[in-house]
Amino acid sequence: MNEKTVSEAIAYRRAVRIYKDEPINTDKVKNCLRNATLAATSSNLQLWEFYQVTNPDKLKALSVACFDQNAAKTAQQLVVVVTRKDLWPKRARANLDFLNEALGKPDLPEHLLKRKKMVNNYYGKLIPITYSDFFGIFGWIKYLIFWTLGLFRPIYRQVRSSDMRIVAHKSAGLAAQNFMISMAAIGYDTCPMEGSDTLRIKRILRLPRGSEINMVIGCGIRDNKGVYGPRFRIPFEEVYRLVD
């Protein structure tokens, strides 16, 4: 079977809620998760983890935590998308080490010297200022300072811990979409689920305190009854605006 084009995969992808009792290839799903890691991510921090679950006992436990909805109960595999905002220091350091090595050659031209200085300021100073917090107190102090500065010039305003949680979940959502489109391209089906007991899921997967569940994705091959109805979308003209 030939892989679908991007447009074909997007058109093929549906939230499939009933899967055939037919196994899917674990390595192929893993490769689709590799594509997930290539998604756009805020500041390239990649504050995500992906748990591909194939163990029957874990699948059953996760299905219960997802209220035994059909998309979980009939799934051949489950993928749990997890945000790790708590890993920002480690991921910032990884970016800094990578970029400093790339820009570590002697006799760099002026524009690359400026780039190296910018990188070190961004990951060494700005990211810690943005992500650091202490029981929410520092976040509100930053918010008030930045709000005041914003009276006089454009400034980044999402600096509270709750704001950074949203940033991490947005990046994880982009990665999940990469994964689902990649699955559709090879003829596999998915269903993203938000309805779940996230605390129980964390316990089942033994996730650390700082992690959060972004979504659980059922994976398999669609049953004839797996798509509950025709696709409905608001007319494009209602959601599209051209600013020229």
Is 236 inside a domain boundary? no
What the block records as the tokens of 136 is 């929410």
Is 207 inside a domain boundary? yes
What the block records as the tokens of 74 is 């009939």
Between 108 and 212, residue with greater pLDDT? 212
- Report how far apart the first and last C-alpha atoms of the chain are (Å, whole number): 43
Query: What integer best gives the mean pLDDT of the chain?
Result: 95
Is 224 inside a domain boundary? yes
- What's the angle, vertex CA 181, arms to CA 81 and CA 41, rounded to 5? 50
Residue with tokens 């929410």: 136
Confidence of residue 1 (pLDDT cuts 50, 70, 90): low
Please give the helix or strand (H or E) that residue 192 lies within, else none. Answer: strand 189-193
What the block records as the tokens of 193 is 């689920």
Is 243 inside a domain boundary? no
Is 239 inside a domain boundary? no
Q: Which pLDDT belongs to residue 138?
A: 86
Rounded Cα–Cα distance for residues 35 and 43 (Å): 18
Q: What is the mean pLDDT of residues 134-140?
A: 85
Rounded Cα–Cα distance for residues 99 and 95 (Å): 6
Domain of 78: which CATH number? 3.40.109.10
Is 106 inside a domain boundary? yes
Is 237 inside a domain boundary? no
**Structural domain total, the chain:** 1
Q: Which pLDDT belongs to residue 240?
A: 98
What the block records as the tokens of 157 is 């305003």
Is 235 inside a domain boundary? no
- What's the angle, vertex CA 19, arms to CA 15 and CA 25, rounded to 5? 100
Rounded Cα–Cα distance for residues 50 and 171 (Å): 13
What the block records as the tokens of 189 is 């089906």
Range of the domain at 194: 1-229
Give the single-character DSSP code of 194. Answer: -
